[in-house]
Amino acid sequence: MEPNTLLDSVLDEAGVSHAGLAAHINEAGRARGMSLRYEHTAVARWLKGQRPRGQVPDLICEVLGERLHRALTLDDIGLGTPGSARGPATPLSGFVERATALWRSDEQQRPHVVEAPAVTGTPAVIPVWEWENPPEDSDVSRRGLTRVSMTDIDTMRAARAHYEQMYRKAGGVATRTRVVGFLNSEAAPLLRGSYADGTGRQLHRATGGLVAIAGICAYDSNAHGLAQRYFHQALRLAKASGDRGLGAYVIALLVNQSLFMKEYRQAVAFAESALRAAGSQITPALAADLYAMQAKAYARLGDGAGALSCIRRAETAADRIRPGQEPDETGYVQPGLVNVQVAEALLNLGDLGGAREHATAAVGTPAHDRGRVHRLAMLTHIELRQGDMDRAGATAVEMTERARGMESQRLRDRLRAVREHLAASGCAATAEAAELIDGALRVPL
């Protein structure tokens, strides 16, 4: 059940409260001979994704349409035929309205949107299947009030790069409000603007990159349902752009989230979909990351042969990376990233020596601060597992110092995990590091 952001958006536009809508629905029902007793709690359930019974969806259209002085359809309020309003079968204009409604609800911090859980099973798989399979968008041109220029698209690309760097330095909690605000103020009017097919494809690609960053920030803020919806949006935008490489990058983000949610088989399947469907458009950096994440999933599933096979493929792809030939989105695949992914896979396979070798190599390679924190956390864990308490304590201290000032739930989770391992060691050499982490965790986000 997904939040109904379209109904939320129309309610906001009409200036009607939850209690007000319920009262108007009851009144409109009486005019039709119906005895309705809805309260604000019913409207809250509809906004969370529950479908009203009987004629109530039509009454909602009637009540809000009168308020806005225009006719509303069930699709306009997110209550069209279930299953008909998603994916490539939906006109792109309908997708744009749903996407921008989500951005608006997120910026307004609507609890039913921000706190929505991630979907699993078929609803999680369908967007990936739809991206990989026909039909394609034959024409994405649109007529609107604002004419979109290449300058606008360049601004969108620059914004993506800016917010990505902000995320790396400050974390997703601080960055998300800014990137979502930009999507609402700048991207939404452009998507509703006027553009030819060629310009439109570039616009959808640039917007897809920005939406992916919003998803990353939501993921980093522990809003996993919201992050998933942003990733699904970015995947739809990638399809509209015709850029299979961008779609594969978005799927890599979904693979990472699947690993976090312990959906290991799904992680393997998603990575396979990206590698298969992107074909020649997939770059060595992205292939390396996808294979490395597959290795982690196989290791978690206890499939050592599958994990080692993917490790070899990841290392082969990493050797072919040429930074100047990679798109902006794959800039996160910095030297050492594959090493730390492989270290985690080997750790789960019980190969502590191999894991430490790769983790040490990762830490010894330059990386942005955020990536370095994760690498140091992995190395600390391995050193503790090997009983090297002095080194583990020193590594943990460096990790904590690097993490200061970053507003990130994921990094806080990582710090807590390291702190638990340090405390469990019962060694004086790790006590200082554990105390330092305690101090860092007391600083509120």
Does residue 425 have a pLDDT over 90? Answer: no
More reliable by pLDDT, 381 or 84: 381
Does residue 337 have a pLDDT over 60? Answer: yes
The whole-number pLDDT of residue 6 equals: 87
Q: How far apart, in whole angstroms, are the C-alpha atoms of residue 99 and residue 191?
A: 10
Lowest mean pLDDT among 28-42, 77-91, 175-189, 333-347: 77-91
* Helix locations, 192-263, DSSP H: 197-220, 224-241, 244-260
Residue 443 — very low, low, confident or very high, per pLDDT cuts 50/70/90? confident
**Partners of 147 in beta bridges:** 194
For residue 115, give the amino acid letter: E
Give the chain's length: 445
CB atoms within 10 A of CB 154: 12
Does residue 406 have a pLDDT over 60? Answer: yes
* pTM for the structure as a whole: 0.86
Does residue 88 have a pLDDT over 70? Answer: no
433-442 average pLDDT score: 91
Q: How far apart, in whole angstroms, are the C-alpha atoms of residue 181 and residue 104?
A: 8
DSSP H/E element including 154: helix 150-170
Does residue 238 have a pLDDT over 70? Answer: yes
Does residue 290 have a pLDDT over 60? Answer: yes
Q: Select from 376, 382, 422, 429 the least CA-distant residue to 400.
A: 376
Q: Name the average pLDDT for the chain.
A: 92
Residues 6 or more apart from 53 whose CB is under 8 A from it?
Answer: none
The domain segmentation of the chain, as residue ranges, is 5-85, 100-351, 368-445
The whole-number pLDDT of residue 173 equals: 94
Question: Which fold does the domain 100-351 belong to in CATH?
Answer: 1.25.40
The whole-number pLDDT of residue 82 equals: 57
Does residue 282 have a pLDDT over 90? Answer: yes
C-alpha distance from residue 76 to each of 9, 11, 52, 55, 90 (Å): 10, 11, 15, 16, 13
The whole-number pLDDT of residue 47 equals: 92
